[in-house]
Chain A
Amino acid sequence: MTTMRIRANKFLKKIAEKILPILTILFLLTVVWYFFTIYLNSAMQIDKYDRQGISWNISKLVLDTMSQERPKLPAPHQIAEEIWKTTVEKKITSKRSLIYHSSITLSSTIVGFMLGTVLGVVLAVSIVENRAMESSLMPWIIASQTIPILAIAPMIIVVLNSLGFSGLLPKALISTYLSFFPIVVGMVKGLRSPDIILVDLMKTYNSSKVDIFFKLRLPASVPFLFTSMKVAIAISLVGAIVGELPTGAVAGLGARLLTGSYYGQTIQIWSALIMASILAATLVFSIQAIGYLVSKKMGYTNEEA
C-alpha cells in the first residue's frame, strides 16, 4: 500500500513540477491571444458599425471582434472551428480537406527526410573513416548550410520541373538538403563518441577496422542519430512547406498558406499554420518514441538516450 502511495505522490509531484507550469504558460498565451484579437480587430469592427449606423457597446464589440469573417487576428476558437470543419467534416479526397493537403506535405517531408538521413549517415561515415574527406568536406558542408536554400527553393523547383521532375521529388530534395546537415553533425559526434580506451580494447582483441565500426562505433552513435533525426524531421517539414509556395503549387499546406494570403483568408492561413505545427509535433514525437524504444532494446539507460 505504502509503495502505491509513494508512487502516487511521485506522480502528483511530477504533474505539479512539469505539467502545471506548461499549462499556466499556455493559459497565459491564450489570454494574450484573445486580448490581441479584440485589440487588433476592434478598429475595423467600429468602422463597420459607423458605416452601417449600428449603435454599439463594449460587450457587443468584444463578441463581434471574435466572429469576423476576415479578421486581422482570428480568435483561437475560430481556428479550431475551421480545422474541425476542414478535417473531420470534409471527405479526405476533397480539395478543401486539410488532411488531404497535410498528407501531400507529409509524403514529401518523409521522402526528403529519408534521403537526407541516408546521405547524412554516408557522409558522416566517410568523414570519420577518412581524414582527407573530413578536411575537404566539412568546411563545405558547413558553408552549404549558410546558403539560404529555402530562399532559392522556387528556382530549384522550376529547374527540376523543366528537367521533367515534378510533383513530389523536387520538394523532397529541398527537405533532403536541409535535413542532411544535422544528421552529419550528430553522426560524426556519435561515431567518435566511444572512448579511446574502448577502441584500444577492440584493438587488443585484434578486431579489424570494419569490426570496430560495426560493433563499437555504430551502436554508440544510435542515441546521437535519433537526437539529430528529431531536428532533421522538423526542418524537412519546413522545407516541404516552403517548397510548395512557388510556381502555383495547387496542393499541400504551403499552397494553402499562399492561396490564403492571396485572398486575405486569415482563418485559412492560421489553420494551415496550426495544422503544420500539429504535424511537426507528431513527427518529432514519433521519432522520439522510436528512439526511446530502440535505445531500450539496445540496453541504453534513459539518461544516455
Chain B
Amino acid sequence: MRKLSNILLTFALFFSAMCFVSSTISFSESNIIVLILSIVGILLGLRLFFPFFASFYYDLFIGVATIIFVILNLHEDLPIGSWPLIFSSWLYSWLAVEKIMQKQFETDYSSTIRNFVAPIFFGVWIIFFWEVATVGLKIPVVILPSPSVIGIKFIASLDILWADFIQTFVKSALIGYLIGCSSGLLIAILIDSSPFLKRGLLPIGNFISALPIIGVAPIMVMWFGFDWESKAAVVVIMTFFPMLVNTITGLSISSQIEKDLMKTYGASYSQTLFFLRLHGAAPFIFNALKINSTLALIGAIVAEFFGTPIVGVGFRISTEVGRMNLDMVWAEITVAALVGTITYGIITFIEKRLTFWHPSIRGN
C-alpha cells in the first residue's frame, strides 16, 4: 500500500513541478493562482523526503481549489499550466481518499459518511474531467456534449422529458414489470408443487433467460400495435423467466429439517409456504426484481425502436440522434439513468428491510 501511494505522490510532485515551470515561463497576471497552487502542490509532494504536510486535509484542499479555479476560468482560455495542475490535484485527491479509507472512525455515523466520500469524490472528478475535456479541448457537441450543456437542456425541456418518462417508464416498463414479475412468481409457486414439471421447467427457464429475448420486440409491435401495450408485452416476456427461475430455486432452499418442524406444528401447505418457504425464497425473489428492473427499462426503450407513437424515451433517442441533437439524447439518458438508479435503490432498500435476517445483509 505504501508503494502505491509513493508512486502517486511522485507523479503528483512531477506534475506540480511541470505546472510551476510552465507558469513561471509564461508568467502573467491571469495565472498567478495557478502558480500559487503549483507551489502548494510541490510543498505537499516534498513529504516524499521530509515528514511534513502529511494530513489529508491539505490534499483535499488542493483538489477542491483546483476544481473551483478551473470551473470559474473554463470559458476563457485556460493558462497553459492548468493542465498539469489538474493531473497533480487529481492524484492528491486520490491520495486523500486513500487515506480517508484507511482511517478508523469511532462512530457508525462518521464511517457511513466515509463510505459515501469516495464514490462522490470519484463522481465529481469524472464529471469535472468530462467538462474540462469537452470545453477546454473544444470537442464538438455532436460527439460529446459537456455536462453543463446537458444540464441546461435537461432543465429547458422538462415537459418533454416528463411526457417521455410517463410513456416509457410508467406505462410500458412499470406495467410490464408488475405483470411479468407477479405472473412469474405465481406460476413458480404453482409449478413448485410438481417436482416433474419443476425439473423440466428449470433448465428451460434458465436457457430462455440467456436468450436474446429483446428480439421479440418487432413481433410484439405487430401483435399489440404501436402504443405502450406492445412495449409492456415485451417487458412481460423479458421479466417473466428470471423471476420464474429465481423463485423456483428460492422455494427449494429451505431445508428438510425446517419443513419437518413446520409439519410438527401441524402447518398446512399454505402456512408452510407463507411462513417458511417464501421467506427463504425472498433473497432470490429480490435478486430477480433487481435484474428485472434493468431489463424492464431496456425492453421498454428498445421496443420503441420498432414503431411507436411520437412520444417516449426510445423514440426521442432515435429521432434526436438522427437530427444530431446529442444534448437532448444525453438528457434522455440522464432520465433513464436516474430512473434506473432510483429504482435499484428502492428495491435494495425494501430488500434490506424485509430480509434483514439474511447473512448477506447482516454481514454489512
Contact = CB atoms under 8 A, between A and B. Distances in A.
A30 to B, nearest CB: 12
B326 to A, nearest CB: 7
A150 B211 contact: no
A168 interface: no
Given A146-B344, A242-B302, A154 B219 contact: no
A151 B119 contact: no
Nearest to B140: A162
Contacts of A132: 94, 97-98, 101, 118
A75 to B, nearest CB: 14
A55 to B, nearest CB: 30
B218 interface: yes
B317 interface: yes
Interface residue range, chain B: 35 or more
Contacts of B222: 72, 261, 264, 266
Interface string B219-247: 10111000000000000000000000000
A159 B214 contact: no
A93 interface: no
B156 interface: no
A219 B341 CA distance: 34
Among B101, B102, B115, B313, which residue has the most Cβ atoms of chain A within 10 A? B101
Given A136-B119, A246-B305, A272 B298 contact: no
B285 interface: no
B318 A162 contact: no
B199 A18 contact: yes
B253 interface: no
Interface string B99-137: 001100000000000010011011100100000000000
B151 interface: no
Interface stretch (A21-29, A190-198, A199-207, A297-305): A21-29
A154 B317 contact: yes
B177 to A, nearest CB: 13
A272 B1 CA distance: 52
Nearest to B210: A234
Given A21-B199, A148-B336, A238 B306 contact: no
A145 B295 CA distance: 10
B204 A140 contact: no
A284 B210 contact: yes
B141 to A, nearest CB: 11
B-side interface mostly: helix
A71 to B, nearest CB: 11
Nearest to A237: B212
A20 B212 CA distance: 26
Nearest to B114: A135
A263 to B, nearest CB: 11
Given A151-B336, A246-B305, A145 B294 contact: yes
A159 B326 contact: yes
A284 B211 CA distance: 10
A131 B101 contact: yes
Contacts of B1: 130
A143 B101 contact: no
A241 B217 CA distance: 12
Contact of B144 (A159, A234, A284): A159
B349 to A, nearest CB: 14
A147 to B, nearest CB: 4
A268 to B, nearest CB: 10
Nearest to B332: A152
A154 B321 contact: yes
A276 interface: yes
B278 interface: no
Interface string B305-316: 111000001100
Interface in B326-357: 326, 329, 333, 336-337, 340-341, 343-344
B341 to A, nearest CB: 5
A25 B204 contact: yes
A137 interface: yes
Contact of A270 (B219, B294, B314): B219
Contacts of B197: 21, 25
B196 A21 contact: yes
B326 A140 contact: no
A230 B197 CA distance: 25
Contacts of A237: 212
Find the residue from A21, A163, A264 having the highest chain B CB count within 10 A: A21
B155 interface: no
Contacts of B212: 237-238, 241, 273, 276-277, 280
Contacts of B218: 257-258, 260-261, 269
Contacts of B123: 140
Contact of B121 (A136, A155, A162, A246): A136
Nearest to B204: A25
B313 A151 contact: yes
A73 to B, nearest CB: 8
Contacts of A289: none
A25 B200 contact: yes
Contact of A24 (B118, B142, B196): B196
Interface of A: 17-18, 20-26, 72, 130-132, 135-140, 142-143, 145-148, 150-152, 154-155, 158-159, 162-163, 230-231, 234, 237-238, 241-242, 245-246, 253, 257-258, 260-261, 264, 266, 269-270, 272-273, 276-277, 280-281, 284
Q: Which 3 A-B pairs have the closest CB atoms?
A: A21-B200, A146-B340, A261-B218
8 contacts: A22-B199, A130-B1, A131-B98, A162-B143, A241-B214, A257-B218, A258-B218, A269-B218
Given A132-B94, A276-B211, 18 more contacts: A21-B196, A72-B222, A130-B4, A135-B97, A148-B294, A148-B298, A151-B297, A152-B329, A155-B321, A158-B321, A162-B142, A162-B143, A241-B212, A241-B215, A264-B222, A269-B218, A276-B212, A277-B211
